[in-house]
């Protein structure tokens, strides 16, 4: 694509950047990976910035050249607006009908190397895990270790500001090192420090996840004990009451709506259960560790999956983690020798929140009924299951008389609040069966 085609396609981006002064343009360009921005005229700098930000050409390798311009000085608003405008321009572009010859991208692994990477080379993808010494490893998208996995040097991690949980793609050298980063979390990399999850202020959930797509029991959950984006929800259930069915149905509803990215953490499961969940959710992260795996691996898998969900929320997305179960997680932490394992589980669960200025992280975790005292204070939504209700053939066996969500009214419309009030009266009078009858009679 020549310059005229580029500017015709991304005119909105060019106009937006051109309105900034030259110092702002240099900061933005440096952030997207344009080295020595002070050496270019404003127009040429904007063109190169658009090329890199849109993925038309790779960013320059990290360099101290031109370090007088600090990448960190580029505002988050400008970066977010440029990315949004790029997507907007792409959406408005009609599909091409003519044949387009592939353009070879030349990506250099390190200074002075003669090796070039491009469309004919294998592009590797995975979730980054950084060890205590600062060296990284590219794990599978299911958060588990593999044979012959790629490693990432401390220098590359520092240069690209990478973190554990980042979804990274790039090219590898013959010795297994990931030497050229192509994307970070599905976007062109930014050469600046990102806001950290813990630095973003938590807010109350104000938008509900849709769990009840075409299902009476799940729709009743949406009204009586709704789960908002950023909720900490606990499912208290004994074996045989339908918690796995609940997780599967809830996940399918969220996946169908496209409201959030799904992350499943399944600990001490049967291998066939893991396989079934991966088959049901092929485009989601299913971080599973079966009962025959070491407890230390269970703990590592769970922590890496949580970090992946945090990175999604930091980037402005919504992540929903289904954890089965808090009981198994506590056992894994304790067996792995983690100090204060009980506190570590609570801290894990407490990560769920809506972030001010970013996205949200929701955790829906299962636990045994006898553990309510342990996790009751941390949860702001409780869904109780009943063996008695399950014995009457109602699965998932949700006990609506004992299930609730704090500040549920903020997640419901005025009409839904009226419906919820009627159903709550029915639950108090006749339990779950009365709720289902009322929904059928009134057409909720």
Residue-wise pLDDT for 83-133, tens only, equals 999 989 988 876 544 444 444 444 444 444 556 666 567 889 999 999 989
Q: Quick: pLDDT tens for 216-260.
A: 999 999 999 999 999 999 999 999 999 999 999 999 999 999 999
Round to whole Å and give the CA distance between 78 and 28: 8
Number of domains in the chain: 3
> Are 237 and 305 found together in one domain?
yes
Round to whole Å and give the CA distance between 349 and 375: 9
Instruction: Give a yes or no: residue 228 inside a domain.
Output: yes
> Are 253 and 378 found together in one domain?
yes
Which of 67, 92, 117 is the last residue in one of the domains? 92
Q: What angle, rounded to 10 degrees, do the helices at 271-280 and 243-257 form?
A: 20
For residue 417, the model assigns a pLDDT of 96
Instruction: Give a yes or no: residue 99 inside a domain.
Output: no
pLDDT band at 403 (very low <50, low <70, confident <90, very high): very high
Instruction: DSSP letter for 396, please.
Output: S
Q: Structural domain of residue 262, as residue ranges?
A: 202-442
Which of 193, 216, 245 is the last residue in one of the domains? 193
Round to whole Å and give the CA distance between 58 and 175: 22
Round to whole Å and give the CA distance between 353 and 348: 12
Q: Quick: pLDDT tens for 17-26.
A: 999 999 999 9
Instruction: Give a yes or no: residue 98 inside a domain.
Output: no
> Are 226 and 373 found together in one domain?
yes
Instruction: Give a yes or no: residue 97 inside a domain.
Output: no
What is the pTM assigned to this prediction?
A: 0.85
For residue 105, the model assigns a pLDDT of 45
pLDDT of 69 > 60? The answer is no
At 173, give phi and psi (nearest 5°). -85, 175
> Are 327 and 427 found together in one domain?
yes
pLDDT band at 290 (very low <50, low <70, confident <90, very high): confident
> Are 232 and 366 found together in one domain?
yes
> Are 136 and 77 found together in one domain?
no
Instruction: Give a yes or no: residue 391 inside a domain.
Output: yes
> Are 242 and 360 found together in one domain?
yes
Round to whole Å and give the CA distance between 140 and 211: 28
Do the Cβ atoms of 37 and 29 come closer than 8 Å?
yes
> Are 218 and 254 found together in one domain?
yes
Mean pLDDT of 197-226: 93
> Are 111 and 77 found together in one domain?
no
Do the Cβ atoms of 269 and 288 come closer than 8 Å?
yes
> Are 117 and 70 found together in one domain?
no
What is the domain-level CATH number for residue 391?
3.40.50.300
For residue 58, the model assigns a pLDDT of 80
Do the Cβ atoms of 181 and 189 come closer than 8 Å?
yes
For residue 376, the model assigns a pLDDT of 80
> Are 382 and 240 found together in one domain?
yes
Do the Cβ atoms of 206 and 410 come closer than 8 Å?
yes
Do the Cβ atoms of 237 and 288 come closer than 8 Å?
no
84: tokens are 């949004």
Instruction: Give a yes or no: residue 101 inside a domain.
Output: no
> Are 341 and 380 found together in one domain?
yes
């Amino acid at each position: 694509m020549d310059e005229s085609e580029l500017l015709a396609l991304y005119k909105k981006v060019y106009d937006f950047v051109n309105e900034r002064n030259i110092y702002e343009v240099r900061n933005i360009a440096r952030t997207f990976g344009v080295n020595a921005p002070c050496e270019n005229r404003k127009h040429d700098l904007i063109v190169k910035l658009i090329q890199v930000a849109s993925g038309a050409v790779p960013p320059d390798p990290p360099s101290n050249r031109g370090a007088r311009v600090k990448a960190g000085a580029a505002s988050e608003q400008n970066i977010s607006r440029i990315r949004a405008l790029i997507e907007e321009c792409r959406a408005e572009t009609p599909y091409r009908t003519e044949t387009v010859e592939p353009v070879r991208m030349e990506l250099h692994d390190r200074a002075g190397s003669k090796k070039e990477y491009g469309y004919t080379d294998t592009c590797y993808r995975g979730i980054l895990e950084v060890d205590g010494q600062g060296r990284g490893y590219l794990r599978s998208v299911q958060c588990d270790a593999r044979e012959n996995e790629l490693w990432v040097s401390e220098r590359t991690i520092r240069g690209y500001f990478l973190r554990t949980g980042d979804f990274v793609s790039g090219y590898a050298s013959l010795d297994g090192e990931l030497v050229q980063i192509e994307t970070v979390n599905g976007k062109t990399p930014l050469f600046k420090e990102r806001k950290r999850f813990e630095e973003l202020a938590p807010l109350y959930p104000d938008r509900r996840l849709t769990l009840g797509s075409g299902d009476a029991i799940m729709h009743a959950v949406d009204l009586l004990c709704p789960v908002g984006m950023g909720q900490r929800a606990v499912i208290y259930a004994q074996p045989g009451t339908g918690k796995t069915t609940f997780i599967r149905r809830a996940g399918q509803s969220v996946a169908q709506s496209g409201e959030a990215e799904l992350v499943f953490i399944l600990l001490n499961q049967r291998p066939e259960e893991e396989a079934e969940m991966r088959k049901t959710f092929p485009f989601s992260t299913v971080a599973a560790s079966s009962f025959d795996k070491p407890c230390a691996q269970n703990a590592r898998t769970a922590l890496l999956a949580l970090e992946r969900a945090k990175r999604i929320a930091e980037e402005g997305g919504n992540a929903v983690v289904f954890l089965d179960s808090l009981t198994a997680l506590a056992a894994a932490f304790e067996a792995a020798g983690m100090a204060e394992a009980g506190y570590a589980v609570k801290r894990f669960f407490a990560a769920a929140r809506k972030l001010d200025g970013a996205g949200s992280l929701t955790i829906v975790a299962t636990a045994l009924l006898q553990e309510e005292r342990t996790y009751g204070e941390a949860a702001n939504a409780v869904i109780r299951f009943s063996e008695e209700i399950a014995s009457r053939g109602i699965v998932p066996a949700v006990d609506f008389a004992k299930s609730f969500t704090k500040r549920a009214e903020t997640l419901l419309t005025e009409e839904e609040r009226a419906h919820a009030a009627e159903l709550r009266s029915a639950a108090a009078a006749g339990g779950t069966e009365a709720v289902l009858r009322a929904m059928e009679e009134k057409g909720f």
